[in-house]
Amino acid sequence: MINFKNLIEALNNAVSIANDSLISSHSEFIDTYFEEAEGGGLNAKNLTINYPVKMPDNTFKNVPVDTPIITLIPVYTSKIDEVKLTADLDVTLDKEDLLVSFSNKADCGSLFGKKERSSNVKLEIILRPGENTEGLKNIIEGYEKILRAQIPG
């Protein structure tokens, strides 16, 4: 048997570890879209795309457009939205402590005789898309304006 408080703390630690993993993926976002600038700070990673422009003589000419990668790839963040634990528990009160154990008392029949059923425990962590911050939205919009300004027409 385990102290119920310890079980809840263990579950809380598991959720905290999952959240830390999500935060780590957010720092990978910086490495994906930005690179360190000489002298400090960050610059957006760019690539050059040849953009076709129709000329007055009805021919096309490729114009190089420096394109920030952050304007080409959708930016998604995730957050833990919900944590569910479903379990069959045996509960005992020992002095002032509430103790629990995973129930496995039920017998079930099988082809080869009676068999003790294992515990039924289900932990579900639900991730949902998170909202981008206003700062991130403004940065992306700024780079999109710079991109539009480079495209003739």
Task: Say if residue 36 is in the same domain as residue 94.
Answer: yes
Mean model confidence pLDDT for the chain: 83
Residue-level pLDDT at 108: 55
Task: Say if residue 84 is in the same domain as residue 27.
Answer: yes
Tens-place pLDDT, residues 87-110: 777 888 888 888 888 776 555 555
| Pairwise CA distance, residues 42 & 133, whole Å | 18
Of 23-27, 48-52, 117-121, 129-133, minimum mean pLDDT range:
117-121
Task: Say if residue 35 is in the same domain as residue 85.
Answer: yes
Task: Say if residue 85 is in the same domain as residue 107.
Answer: yes
Task: Say if residue 94 is in the same domain as residue 26.
Answer: yes
Domain tally, the chain: 2
Tens-place pLDDT, residues 1-35: 888 888 889 888 888 888 888 777 777 888 889 99
Task: Say if residue 39 is in the same domain as residue 1.
Answer: yes
The whole domain housing 26 covers 1-44+80-126
- For every residue of 43-96, DSSP letters joined together read EE-EEEEEEEEE-TTS-EEEEEEEEEGGGTS---EEEEEEEEEEE-EEEEEETT
Q: Which residue has the higher pLDDT, 138 or 105?
A: 138
Q: How far is CA 124 from the centre of its chain?
A: 15
Tens-place pLDDT, residues 40-70: 999 999 999 999 988 889 999 999 999 999 9
Residue-level pLDDT at 151: 85
Task: Say if residue 53 is in the same domain as residue 39.
Answer: no
Residue-level pLDDT at 60: 92
Task: Say if residue 40 is in the same domain as residue 99.
Answer: yes
Q: Which two tokens stand for residue 85?
A: 């634990």
Predicted TM-score (pTM) of the model is 0.57
| Pairwise CA distance, residues 33 & 70, whole Å | 6
Task: Say if residue 65 is in the same domain as residue 100.
Answer: no
DSSP category for residue 151 = S
Task: Say if residue 32 is in the same domain as residue 91.
Answer: yes
Task: Say if residue 1 is in the same domain as residue 33.
Answer: yes
Task: Say if residue 98 is in the same domain as residue 26.
Answer: yes
| Mean of pLDDT values over 104-133 | 66
